[in-house]
Structure 1
Amino acid sequence: MDPSDVEARPAYGDAWVYESIVGALPGISLSKPAAIGLQVVIFEGGVLALAALYDLWAAVPAGTVAVGVAAVGSYFMLTLGGENRRLDVAETYYRLLFGSSIEVVLAVLAFVAVVTHLFVTDPATVGQPSAAARLLPIPIATASEPIVTELFGADPPTPVVFLALLVLWDLCYRIGTSWWTAVVSLYRELRLSPGPGTRRRFRRLDALNVGFAVAQLALVPFIADRPVLLLAMCGHVVAVTAVSGTAIALSLRAE
């Protein structure tokens, strides 16, 4: 095998936190498919095992889709990280994208907001008209019970809530990464000057970010009667698409 075909292990501080964790596993060197496959096996295995243990099969579709979207996010992060490190652009871009760890800050904010909504706002406002619902272009049904109760019952088992929050964090981290990637991509096109060949490869990565955002719409059927969550999800997809799309348009114009 040509040594140039083998992706070098990323240097810490020059990689996503997720990549650093995968690369730091002692005595293990995982390829991209193996890392994503292991993630799916662990999470989906947990979903099915807990569903069988507590008879919560109704929650399996939502859990399985969430695990799938998180796996798509892992592919996005590993591909984006590896491809970015092969491209020739100013060091400022890499410091912003990898070294700042702002994606973690965004992920924490998203996770705290979602958990607050799930355990405080949603139970307090269920069955009531929502201001968020009026912002949506089509009327939606009003939920009759909190989403946690709908999925896990009135007395959710502790292991089930633990796994649900773990998967939710996984999603929020990848969503935070998607946000930050879009912002840094726009900065790159406004302030830096990649070469023509490099611009084409960056456009493919920006399109990959949009694809990951769109993939998250697979979660919509499970939050269709939750106006706040639905609005947040759709707004996120629109924002990432708009910012990454602007970066692509600026790149095309520069050529």
Structure 2
Amino acid sequence: MSEPTGEDEAFADGTPEDAPPARADFGDAWVYESIVGAVPGAALSAPVAIALQVVVFEAGILALAAVYGLWDAVPAGTAAVGVAAVGSLLMLTLGDENRTLAVSPTYYRLLFGSSIEVVLAVLAFAGVITHLFVVDPATGGVAAVVARLLPGSVAPAGESIVTELFGDQPPVPAVYLALVVVWDLCYRIGTSWWTAVVSLYRELRLECGPGTRLRFRRLDALNVGFAFVQLALVPFVADRPILLFAVLGHVVAVTVVSGAAIALSLTKE
């Protein structure tokens, strides 16, 4: 067990286990939570905020599908909206629950104040955009990738995923909405990964009471649950090896890191 030092030692010695942590001058909410709480004239509860998110996105998907005849894109879009909605629920739940637990302010500074989840989301989004508009058109799906691995073979000219979903001349509004949904997904996936990393750091470096550790384990398990929800995207990227590897790799990474945090917590009981 690591020894608390500095502000961690002061916290461990002077704060009751069930009391909320002392706040320093740094952010104590994720960007998404801040947006939900800052809508002028509206005090949105979690269910209302998530329902509004689903209705707006899904209505946009269906309307654009009707206008441009893009019904083949609806299942993928609906799955993405559903996963993002579960991610929103996770973020609001983790945010509310984490802020009631007694642990060093260092934990809250890392989890909320750093905004690293936004950086991770930007990197993930840039990677997806690069793949969609550069890599995928050059590879054309799994058939082309496999063909390139066979000696003397000629790779077929497969369709890119953008062409497959939106046609040879993708409508601008449909692509715009798709990219907004992709960003929504990337942000929640980035938050999930950062939560897992901070959880492992918490168990390696910080101290908290037994009751608090039990609640943290439940939150870590919830984060793993969200990672598995993302498997709903697999059928839509199964023929795109890079995207498939990215989705499955993220699920495995969150499971391993959060699982390690849970295992370390159990050794401290």
TM value normalised by structure 1: 0.90
Q: Distance in 2 between matches of 1:60 and 1:12?
A: 41
Matched, 1:55 2:53: no
Using the TM superposition, give the Cα deviation of residue 146 of structure 1 relative to its aligned residue in structure 2, in angstroms: 0.4
Q: Which has the larger radius of gyration?
A: 2
3-state SS of paired residue (2:121): helix
Provide the residue aligned with 2:133 in structure 1: 119
Give 2:96's aligned amino acid.
Answer: G
Provide the residue aligned with 1:128 in structure 2: 144
Provide the residue aligned with 1:136 in structure 2: none
Using the TM superposition, give the Cα deviation of residue 13 of structure 1 relative to its aligned residue in structure 2, in angstroms: 1.4
Provide the residue aligned with 1:87 in structure 2: 101
CA contact (8 A) 2:139 2:158 kept: no
CA contact (8 A) 1:12 1:20 kept: no
Give 1:157's aligned amino acid.
Answer: P
CA contact (8 A) 2:27 2:112 kept: yes
Counterpart selection for 1:239 from 241, 253, 256: 253
Matched, 1:144 2:175: no
Q: Distance in 1 between matches of 2:191 and 2:208?
A: 22
Counterpart selection for 1:97 from 84, 100, 111: 111
Q: Distance in 2 between matches of 1:201 and 1:61?
A: 36
CA contact (8 A) 1:130 1:227 kept: no
Give 1:129's aligned amino acid.
Answer: V
Change (3 A) 1:180 1:130: farther
Per-residue CA distance 1:215-238 (angstroms, 9 max, x = gap)? 000000000000000011100100
CA contact (8 A) 2:144 2:158 kept: no
Q: Distance in 2 between matches of 1:229 and 1:173?
A: 16
| Structure 1 residues 113-192: aligned runs within 5 Å | 113-126=127-140, 127-129=143-145, 144-192=158-206
The RMSD of aligned alpha carbons is 1.9
CA contact (8 A) 1:76 1:209 kept: yes
Q: Distance in 1 between matches of 2:179 and 2:145?
A: 27
Provide the residue aligned with 1:202 in structure 2: 216
Per-residue CA distance 1:111-140 (angstroms, 9 max, x = gap)? 000000000000012153269x9xxxxxxx
Give 1:40's aligned amino acid.
Answer: V
CA contact (8 A) 2:197 2:257 kept: yes
CA contact (8 A) 1:143 1:225 kept: no
Aligned length: 238
CA contact (8 A) 1:143 1:226 kept: no
Per-residue CA distance 1:48-87 (angstroms, 9 max, x = gap)? 0000010101110000000000000000000000000000
Per-residue CA distance 1:162-213 (angstroms, 9 max, x = gap)? 0000000000000000110000000000000110000000001000100111
Which segment drifts farther, 119-128 or 85-94?
119-128
Where structure 1 has 5 or more consecutive residues not aligned to the other structure, the ranges are 1-10, 134-141
CA contact (8 A) 2:103 2:207 kept: yes
3-state SS of paired residue (1:128): helix
Give 2:101's aligned amino acid.
Answer: L
Identical positions, percent: 76
Q: Distance in 1 between matches of 2:144 and 2:182?
A: 25
Q: Distance in 2 between matches of 1:194 and 1:52?
A: 54
CA contact (8 A) 1:76 1:212 kept: yes
Q: Distance in 2 between matches of 1:201 and 1:59?
A: 40
